Amino acid sequence: MLSPLSNVTYRRLFAAQVVALLGTGLATVALGLLAHRLGGASAGEILGIAFAIKMIAYVAVAPFASALAANLPRKTLLIGLDLVRAGVAALLPFAVEAWQVYALMTVLYVASAAFTPAFQAMIPDILTDEREYTKALSLSRLASDLESVASPVIAAVLLAFVAYNDLFAGTAIGFFLSALMVLSAALRTVRVPQQKTFAQRLTIGFRLFALTPRLRGLVAISLATAAGGAMVFINTVVIVQTQLSLSEQHTAWALAVFGLGSMSAAMLVPRLLEDMPDRIVMILGGVMMTAGLVAGAFHHHGGYYELLVMWFDIGIGYSLTLTPASRALRRSASAEDRPGLFAAYFALSHACWLIAYPVAGLVSSTWGTNAAFFVLGILSAIGVLATWLLWPSHDPEILPHRHEELPADHPHLAEHGRKHEHAVVIDAWHPKWPIN
């Protein structure tokens, strides 16, 4: 699984992702503790609002950022955004009111909304082999899980010696080191001829989602992912420190167990995908998260260790729904349209989080965490069922089809003939998904 790291450019970008996520993980723990200090038992509501702001920024900014950045140097863009995020993290320890937290996190989330899709869309251009790309996705999933495992463990250790506000300094350092790693990476300057207008670049990703069956299923499974993740990220601190009256370190360890489940699944994904289609692996993950959430709804008198078991199960399902997603995206767009597709997925998937985060926070603060488990379990089940219905079980990459609408002298027909088969994506020559 480590073979993609032999590519020097990918290795440096992967290192940038690791250090940035380690810092982000420290901020996640620190933000939860800050919310608990400001709101006590209403910490879930504060976190729910903060993460709702995050989702609004992600949904609104990502497509525009992708369209605007089409002609910008990728390295300069990524470095600049990393430095903005480092600056915001350095200011967070000085926030003493909830509105100050919301304002700073808005800037941070807008920068991340521009950074993440641009970063993700570069990887298929660097690793063109399908097997290597699949391994890279698992590595990226493992790196992302550092936010849920290594960072909380580090945070738990650090909290024995420093105040939680000091954890934000680690976030700033992580983003600064990420900028240095991107600076050291030899990124090729890819200039795709921009024949599309700004409006076309802005909407191409959403058009691909509307017209490609597997992508519609990908949005549906994102609802299940968001339901499971939101319960963990929003309500862990409430369950552990308010209901169970345990310490900040126990909160960090609970988040670490969730991440451990996700990492365990990510290590198995490359092998699973050799024998199972992306669709089945992702649906399996959604079923596991739904089961964990439903179990939590009946967690009336359970203790800390029962919570850890549920978090481990939800972590496994979370990784199974997320890791194969980029494979489906890669199969569904040309290199020219890929940045727009990744940006659209970033926006649409986070629209699901925009639903799940407020539900997790507001239902928990109003009716209790058991009610939040139940409602989010229903959301997850809806996402799994919709994925099963929207994503065809027979979804080959190579599709036979005819082009009755093209003239006989069209270049595409000259190369393939009027009836032919090849890997299909929605483009100028394939404006609709072929039935046969």
Question: Residue ranges per domain, the chain?
Answer: 3-390
> Which segment, 94-103, 187-196, 296-305, 378-387, is predicted with the most confidence on average?
378-387
Task: Record the tokens describing residue 145, joined without a space.
Answer: 């899980």
The mean pLDDT of 89-99, rounded to a whole number, is: 81
User: What phi-psi label fits residue 368: left (phi over 0), alpha (psi between -120 and 50 degrees) or beta?
Assistant: left
Asked whether the predicted pLDDT for residue 112 surpasses 70, the reply is yes
* DSSP SS3 for 344: helix
Distance between CA atoms of 29 and 148, rounded to whole angstroms?
9
Provide the residue count of the chain.
436
The mean pLDDT of 27-37, rounded to a whole number, is: 75
**b/e per residue, 21-53, with b = 16+ CB within 10 A?**
bbbbbbbbbbbbbbbbebbeebbbbbbbbbbbb
Single out the residue of 4, 291, 208 nearest to residue 124, CA to CA: 4
Distance between CA atoms of 274 and 227, rounded to whole angstroms?
28
pLDDT at 69 (0 to 100): 62
Residues 270-328 pLDDT 10s: 889 888 999 999 999 999 999 999 999 886 656 889 999 999 999 999 999 988 888 88
Instruction: Please provide the average confidence, as pLDDT, over all residues in the chain.
Output: 81
> Residue 387 to residues 47, 217, 432: CA-CA distances in angstroms?
29, 4, 21
Give the Cβ contact number of residue 354 at 10 Å.
22
* DSSP SS3 for 311: helix
For tokens 């690791």, name the residue. 18
Task: Record the tokens describing residue 435, joined without a space.
Answer: 């039935």
Evaluate whether 311 touches 257 at the Cβ level (below 8 Å).
Answer: yes
pLDDT at 301 (0 to 100): 58
Which band of pLDDT confidence, cut at 50, 70 and 90, is reported for residue 154?
confident
Asked whether the predicted pLDDT for residue 375 surpasses 90, the reply is yes
Q: What are phi and psi of 2, to 5 degrees?
A: -90, 0
pLDDT at 200 (0 to 100): 66
pLDDT at 63 (0 to 100): 76
CATH class for the region spanning 3-390:
mainly alpha
> Which segment, 126-130, 279-283, 352-356, is predicted with the most confidence on average?
279-283
The continuous run of DSSP H or E covering 399 comes out as strand 398-402
pLDDT at 436 (0 to 100): 55
